[in-house]
Amino acid sequence: MLRKSGRLTDEDPDATVWTKLARTTLDGISVAPIGTPADLEGLATAGRPTREGAWDIRAQYDGPDAKAVNQAILADLNGGVTSLWIQLGAGLTAADVAPALEGVDLSIAPVVVDGGIEGAEALAALDGLHADSNLGADPLAVQLRGGAGADLGQVATVAKLAQQKGVRGVVVDATAAHDLGASDAQELGYALYAGVSYLRALVDAGLSVEEAAAQVELRIAATDEQFPTIAKFRAARRLWARVLELSGAAEEARVTRIHGVTSRPMLAKYDSYVNMLRTTVASFAAGVGGAEAVTVLPFDSALGVPDAFGRRIARNTSHLLIDESHVAKVADPAGGSYAVEKLTDDLARVAWDVLGEIETSGLDALTTKIAATVETREKQIAQRKRPLTGVTEFPNLGETLPERTPSPIADAVRRYGASFEALRDEPAAAPVFLATLGPVAHHTARATFITNLLAAGGIAVEAAGPTTDAADLTSKYAGQKVAVLAGTDKAYAEWGADAISALRDAGAAYVILAGKPGDLAVDDSAAMGVDALAFLNRTREALA
């Protein structure tokens, strides 16, 4: 098939097929289409997932007020949620922690709070906290998200308070890097840097390495890229075990609790119900990767504060994976897979190098690397090499967005489809004329391609329908400023030039061709691989 498609020449050896079918991640890691035993030669595995049974189903809350959060918490607990994650600063303050948890048996449901030292003290003031609760000290994540410079002394203060309460005190929230656009290795490298920084601060404050390690919980983002996400969680555990080994921690202490959170940037505001599919794959991958706790963000999180339906679907996603699909029955179901083991090892090595760069040059080195990754990802999305269903592919211009209460957290994250969503937010004032050449069977492929492409930029079309010649085509033209030709190569050769001339004479100021233009005198064209974002902006300018 590769030779027939031209991707391989007759002179290329058969072994080249592996290179042609491999894909390269944003970290520059080559992923072969099929793993082989040779991939694992010389690899020593460590830090395998150790979770036994179901993961902790953790729900997230960020507003809009304590009463609403309390109602959501009680509904979630009745629906099977097993732990709670409260984020302050988006409508909630430290004073809201106790009211939000009113009626909750804190000895059964662990609570994690994100809110600096004030939030930590508010949670610590409550009695009977479950041992898996966490006071949430994480000043480096606050700094990375654009907050004040990190005060590592805060970490030691909160950790000692946590020890008194018999809970954890520190979260390493690597989603802070992920939300900025970091690759998988960059996210892991940051997690290691933050974790090491906190270990040093705690040891300097008088804790042993083992005591310091027991205070730390990692938080990692899970995306809808299934195998890379599985590998990322497995690599995180391996890397953290290596950090603790080098720190001199006893072998039995070289473990941590990993909290997986479905990615915020991958969620889409438009066609938001597709987010259910994205979060299902992401939570599956986090669970298979060994996460002890998994948060499935509601599908409507990108729109604002999720409603009751969104929260129910989110918690039931984990229930279905655990109770119906039995995903949690095996501790490390991906273990032994040649491809996953190789990807885990490759990712761990790149992440370790990222840690070294940050240790040498500081967080500025990370932000520089993230910026380059964002540029690469944006280019791939613009060219639709990373398709986003409902945003860059198969958009529905007639969609009415569900209404939700605005959320500062939803607005703070730049989603992968943000550039296209911005165009959809302000649809083009006028449609284009879709000049379809020939019968439906002849023009439908390119007409569908260009219609979907234009819709991704908020541009509607008015189609001519079946046509026979240039005169028939222009008889259906209604004075639109922009016209787009869609037909077969044969039709373009036979009467494309006549159609273009007739449309210009009829008043079309800007003519686009669906396909490669060849010798036709058009103003623009669009074929597979086009920079869709640039094309859409040019078209909107022509319409304006």
Q: What is the mean pLDDT of residues 213-232?
A: 97
Residue 9 pLDDT more than 80? no
Integer CA distances (angstroms), 453 to 125, 477, 514, 526, in order: 55, 21, 10, 9
What is the CB-side half-sphere exposure of residue 117 using CA atoms within 13 A?
A: 12
Residue 4 pLDDT more than 70? no
Question: What is the reported pLDDT for 64?
Answer: 85
Residue 265: cis peptide before it, omega within 30 degrees of 0: no
Q: What is the mean pLDDT of residues 194-215?
A: 96
Question: What is the reported pLDDT for 7?
Answer: 67
Give the bridge partners for 209, in sequence order: none
In sequence order, what DSSP letters do the residues of 193-261 get, joined into one string? HHHHHHHHHHHHTT--HHHHHHTEEEEEEE-S-HHHHHHHHHHHHHHHHHHHHHTT--GGG---EEEEE
pLDDT tens string 480-525: 999 999 999 999 999 999 999 999 999 999 999 999 988 899 999 9
Question: What is the reported pLDDT for 146?
Answer: 85
Contact call for residues 355 and 189 (beta carbons, < 8 A): yes
Residue 294 pLDDT more than 80? yes
Contact call for residues 464 and 433 (beta carbons, < 8 A): yes
Stated as kind and residue range, the H or E segment containing 436 is: strand 432-436
- Region at 128 (left for phi over 0; alpha for psi -120 to 50; beta for the rest): left
Question: What is the reported pLDDT for 148?
Answer: 78
> In whole angstroms, what is the distance from residue 174 CA to residue 219 CA?
6
Stated as kind and residue range, the H or E segment containing 472 is: helix 470-474
Residue 46 pLDDT more than 80? no
Question: What is the reported pLDDT for 19?
Answer: 77
Contact call for residues 263 and 229 (beta carbons, < 8 A): no
CB atoms within 10 A of CB 394: 15
Percentage of residues of the chain with pLDDT beyond 70? 98
Residue 404 makes CB contacts below 8 A (sequence gap 6+) with 300, 303, 304, 305, 306, 307
Integer CA distances (angstroms), 271 to 154, 392, 397, in order: 42, 11, 10
Residue 5 pLDDT more than 70? no
Residue 532 pLDDT more than 70? yes
Q: What is the mean pLDDT of residues 118-145?
A: 95
Q: How confident is residue 3, by pLDDT bands cut at 50, 70 and 90?
A: low
Residues present in the chain in total: 544
Whole-number average pLDDT of the chain: 93
Question: What is the reported pLDDT for 89?
Answer: 86
Render the burial of 355-375: b for 16+ CB within 10 Å, e for the rest: bebbeeeebebbbebbeebbe
> In whole angstroms, what is the distance from residue 159 CA to residue 97 CA?
19
Q: Which domains does the chain have, with CATH numbers?
A: 1-34 (no CATH), 56-296+305-353 (3.20.20.240), 426-543 (3.40.50.280)
What is the CB-side half-sphere exposure of residue 27 using CA atoms within 13 A?
A: 23
- Region at 91 (left for phi over 0; alpha for psi -120 to 50; beta for the rest): left
In sequence order, what DSSP letters do the residues of 335-399 get, joined into one string? TT-HHHHHHHHHHHHHHHHHHHHHHHH-HHHHHHHHHHHHHHHHHHHHTTSS--BTTTBS--TT-
Residue 276 makes CB contacts below 8 A (sequence gap 6+) with 299, 313, 317
Look at 58-67, 343-352, 371-380, 409-418 and tell me which has the smallest mean pLDDT.
409-418
Long-range contacts, stretch 137-141, CB < 8 angstroms, 24+ apart: 137/169, 137/170, 137/171, 137/198, 138/114, 138/170, 138/171, 138/172, 138/173, 138/194, 140/176, 140/193, 140/194, 140/197, 140/198, 140/363, 141/171, 141/172, 141/173, 141/176, 141/194
CA 311 from centre of chain: 19
pLDDT tens string 444-468: 999 999 999 999 999 999 999 999 9
What is the radius of gyration, based on Cα positions, of the chain?
Answer: 27
pLDDT tens string 297-310: 999 999 999 999 99
Residue 383 pLDDT more than 70? yes
pLDDT tens string 70-104: 999 999 999 999 999 999 987 899 999 999 999 99
pTM above 0.85, yes or no: yes
Contact call for residues 532 and 392 (beta carbons, < 8 A): yes
Residue 542 pLDDT more than 90? yes
> In whole angstroms, what is the distance from residue 180 CA to residue 174 CA?
10
Angle, helices 66-78 vs 308-319, to 10°: value is 30
> In whole angstroms, what is the distance from residue 535 CA to residue 532 CA?
5
